[in-house]
Amino acid sequence: MNRLTLLILFLMVSLLVIQSCTDESVVPVERQLNLPPVEFDYSTNAVPNHVANNLSDNTPPFNQLTDAGATLGRVLFYDTRLSKNNSVACASCHHQEKGFADGQTFSTGFEGVKTTRNSMAISNLKFQKSFFWDTSSSELEDQVLAPLKNHIEMGMENMDYLVTKIEASDYYDELFETVYGSKEVTPTRVSNALAQFMRSMVSYESKYDQGVESNFSNFSGLEKMGMNLFLDHSRTACGDCHNPQSNFAATWRDHANIGLDLVYEDEGAGSGQFKIPSLRNIALTGPYMHDGRYNTLEEVIEHYNSGIQNHPSLDWSLRDGGGAKKMNLNDLEKQALIAFLHTLTDDSFTSDEKFSNPFR
């Protein structure tokens, strides 16, 4: 190469760099959408009774689950075009192999800014009364628009811009047409489809679920010991709030203060109370708690065992004679609880193609 070609090459590269910087740093999207020739079955969506015995299904009459609707929801969930600069999709912070959490203490939004709370796992949302760590949303159709509009997460405050961007992608015409009978894109159509996909994500095939069918003959001694401890109100009280019959979350209320701190920086739903999260797939969804303060289940167990703070709003289940409960678990008992929590992992849910990324 002579000097002149080198100089020309250098100029060309510089031009390219300058050009890409002036383009509002929009990330180019060049992926193929791959949908199955026949839609996956989302609408059957039946789960065994034991999963949510005493909870009702939050599907509203105006947004019944259909295979086409959930398929559109899946595409939207994985599409980075739903963020202002095409850099972030819902799935950027909700990874299937991690039970739809993301393994981060705080997640990174579309401009590289961190969220102020830990990303939440997603499964069996159709049995839940409220959403977000502070339980501030009570309808999934509303909830799914929040991350889109959020200035840290996806930055689409302007819903008209969202509509324009979706209309500009060739593959959405047919998808909207199939679901809604016309290709018109509206924020309501977007949120309804996303909510359908959220409700289709049901997890009920963990080792625990198989155990329910077989009187837990599939459990090891340690796992059985852990289950008994988990359900023992006086020793641990775990089942008071994470009730197995209620999808491992609460039955009659949805938030509690578990004495993480004496003074909370983030008060959650008020007085340091946060959503009682389902423990399904919990071994995959760390870091744990609303602020991701614990990296491992060992740390979570040690909190409940010896670290509960005597906050004025500390829940009654975690008190003992007025003070904070001390569980005094020995090492074997701690291991047993953790072994039991691992039985809530559902590999068929985390590997099911119908919940996976359709862009390849």
- Whichever of 68 and 297 has its CB closer to ligand HEC, that residue is 297
* Angle at CA of residue 110, ends 100 and 350, nearest 5°: 10
Residue 209 token pair: 């679920």
Q: Does 276 bind ligand HEC (CB under 6 A)?
A: yes
Are the CB atoms for 65 and 42 separated by under 8 Å?
yes
Binding residue for ligand HEC, selected from 68, 122, 202, 336, defined by CB under 6 A? 122
CA–CA separation, 342 vs 337, rounded Å?
9
**Position among 236, 243, 247, 345 found at the interface with ligand HEC (CB under 6 A):** 236
CA distance 187 to 135: 23
Name every residue whose Cβ is closer than 8 Å to that of residue 274 and which is 6 or more positions away in sequence.
133, 134, 135, 255, 256, 257, 258, 268, 289, 290
Query: Residues 94, 207, 280, 342: which binds ligand HEC (CB under 6 A)?
Result: 94
Tokens of 30: 């060049």
Over the window 139 to 178, marking each residue x when it contacts ligand HEC by CB under 6 A and - when it does not, the resulting string is ----xx--xx----xx------------------------
Residue in the block written with tokens 């799914």 = 144
Q: Is 127 in the site for ligand HEC (CB under 6 A)?
A: no
Among 240, 267, 299, 302, binds ligand HEC (CB under 6 A): 240
| Region near ligand HEC per CB under 6 A, out of 31-39, 91-99, 159-167, 217-225 | 91-99
Q: According to the binding rule CB under 6 A, does residue 289 interact with ligand HEC?
A: yes
Number of residues counted as binding ligand HEC (CB under 6 A): 51
Cα separation, 347 vs 99, in Å, equals 9
- In sequence order, the 6+-apart residues with CB closer than 8 A to the CB of 49 are none
Length of the chain: 360
Tell me if 117 contacts ligand HEC by CB under 6 A. Answer: yes
CB of 18 to ligand HEC, least distance (A): 29
Q: What are 197's two structure tokens?
A: 């996909």
> Which residues contact ligand HEC (rule: CB under 6 A)?
77, 88, 90, 92-94, 107, 109, 115, 117, 119-122, 125, 131-133, 143-144, 147-148, 153-154, 194, 198, 236-238, 240-242, 256, 258, 260, 274-277, 279, 282, 285, 288-290, 300, 304, 315, 317-318, 337
